[in-house]
Amino acid sequence: MKKAIFPGSFDPITLGHYDIVKRGVTLFDELIIAIGENSSKKYMFSLEQRKSFIEKAFEGEPKIKVMTYNGLTINFCKDIGADFILRGLRNPADFEFEKAIAHTNRKLSHIETVFLLTSSGKSYISSSIVREVIRHQGDYTSLVPESVRIK
């Protein structure tokens, strides 16, 4: 069974993340969207909100689960029996950053990282941009799944 995790803070999940998950789930038997908790990071949305956004976005998708974790991503992979980490790439800077992490993870464990390029129409979207638009009361609805749209 091919089990992968898609780790991130998802503050909030964007259509870029959604794109990677929808395409990535076809490659694996099970895909766990893994929300990392970092106590030193200030989030716009609570862990419960972020988890709820993701669960609602992928309702009815039996191969997708949502979990939270602390610590090293590779330790979480070992704990749940995942052999793959799925990551999305938007641009060359993402690649350089993610490449270093992937090499380190493989050196410390047997876990392989699989990269997918974000679809061209979504490559400009990031959670930090979405948070900035929300902070300034802009229309962010075209950047996130419907589950994130605050009523």
Query: Could you list the active site residues?
Result: 17, 41, 90, 127
Measured from the Cβ of residue 136, the count of other Cβ atoms closer than 10 Å reads 8
Q: Residue 27: which of 99, 100, 116, 93 has the closest Cα?
A: 116
**DSSP E strand boundaries for the chain:** 3-8, 30-36, 64-69, 84-89, 112-117
Terminal Cα-to-Cα distance of the chain (whole angstroms): 39
